[in-house]
A = this chain, B = another copy of it.
Amino acid sequence: MTDPASVAFRSTCPLASVLDIIGDKWTLVIMRDMLAGKTRFSEFLDSPEGLSPRVLSQRLSFLESQGMIQKVQAGRTHPAYVLTDKAMELKEVGIRLAEWGLRHIPGRVSPYLDKFRDED
> If A11-B48, A97-B93 touch, does A108 touch B17 (CB 8 Å cutoff)?
yes
A interface majority secondary structure: helix
Determine whether the beta carbon of B12 is less than 8 Å from that of A109. Answer: yes
Determine whether the beta carbon of B96 is less than 8 Å from that of A12. Answer: no
Q: Does A29 contact B (CB under 8 A)?
A: yes
Determine whether the beta carbon of B50 is less than 8 Å from that of A14. Answer: no
Pick 19 A–B contacts, CB within 8 A, sort by A.
A10-B25, A11-B47, A12-B107, A12-B109, A13-B98, A14-B97, A14-B108, A14-B109, A14-B110, A14-B113, A15-B28, A15-B29, A18-B105, A23-B23, A23-B28, A24-B25, A86-B104, A89-B104, A96-B96
